[in-house]
Amino acid sequence: EKDLESKLPLRGKKILITAGPTYEAIDPVRFIGNHSSGKMGFDIAERAAELGAEVTLISGPTHLNVKNSVINLVRVTSAQEMYDACHKYFNEVDVTICAAAVADYKPKFVAEQKIKKAEASLTIELEKTQDILASLGRVKQNQFLIGFALETENEIENAKLKIQKKNLDLIVLNSLQDEGAGFGKATNKIIFIDKDFDIEPMDLKSKELVAADIMNKVISHYEK
């Protein structure tokens, strides 16, 4: 029993993870998206499952597949679908990690038919999507809530603001200062900032190892 606990320290814990981009429809054949591969969120999900957690992974469009068949993979397309799926599971989970690159804006109107190239220029009006992470922070009870932050300037200050605005326990700041880090790369340079604003910069490393570092934070939260 003692041995199982050390090998599977998250046994009995339910974890919700978001991953990948979202696609926001313009018309039946076009969308607004981004370059997120989904790899960071998928790696977190695999690591969490290895540690014994019950994992639900809500992912936007990606070519990735789960390796560990115990992971409950829910595929979604738009920010609204990801929002709905997250709120369906959130009440029942212990930990939530939002690693998805959710679109901040979506077309205000989706054309019913394919838009024809009739005019010399085209303007598409955009409106904000719902902030999924912030909405979870508003209804949070005992859940340990982890967000990501992608910043290109004043990264520490902006990440601290996100912790407060979204009611987070921990933020994973994706530091783009290093050229090995970020979208489409196999490695990430992160800085942990917790809700007490304790800052822990990590070395550049593979996304698998970043996922392990993040899950170690979750384990130590439950050891306290």
- The residues that are catalytic are 34
Q: Reduced to 3 DSSP states, what percent helix, strand and coil does the chain have, rounded to the nearest 5?
A: 30, 30, 40
# residues contacting Ca ion (CB under 5 A)? 1
CB of 211 to ligand CTP, least distance (A): 15
What is the C-alpha separation between 102 and 219, in angstroms, rounded? 26
Closest CA to 154 of 169, 181, 173, 128: 173
CB of 195 to ligand CTP, least distance (A): 15
Q: Helix, strand or coil for residue 95?
A: strand
- Specify the residue, 104 or 203, whose C-beta has the smaller distance to Ca ion: 104
CB of 94 to ligand CTP, least distance (A): 18
98 contact choice in ligand CTP, Ca ion, none (CB below 5 to 8 Å, kind-dependent): ligand CTP
- Specify the residue, 9 or 147, whose C-beta has the smaller distance to ligand CTP: 147
Strand 190-194 with 170-175, pairing: antiparallel
CB of 41 to Ca ion, least distance (A): 15
Binding residues, as ranges, are: 104, 114, 148, 162, 166
What is the C-alpha separation between 11 and 27, in angstroms, rounded? 44
Phi, psi of 148 (to 5 degrees): -110, 160
Question: What DSSP character marks residue 130?
Answer: P
38 contact choice in Ca ion, ligand CTP, none (CB below 5 to 8 Å, kind-dependent): none
CB 102 within 8 A of CB 132: yes
Binding residues for CTP, as ranges, are: 104, 114, 148, 162, 166
Binding site for ligand CTP (CB under 6 A): 18, 79, 98, 100, 102, 104, 129, 131-133, 147-150, 162
Q: Of the ranges 21-29, 43-51, 80-88, 96-104, which one interacts with Ca ion (CB under 5 A)?
A: 96-104
150 contact choice in Ca ion, ligand CTP, none (CB below 5 to 8 Å, kind-dependent): ligand CTP
Q: Of the ranges 33-41, 70-78, 102-110, 156-164, which one interacts with Ca ion (CB under 5 A)?
A: 102-110
Q: How many residues appear in the chain?
A: 224
Nearest residue relative to Ca ion (C-beta): 104
**Does the footprint of Ca ion cover residue 104 (CB under 5 A)?**
yes
Question: What DSSP character marks residue 169?
Answer: S
What's the CA angle centered on 55, arms 145 and 39, to 5 degrees?
80
Residue listed under structure tokens 């018309």 = 27
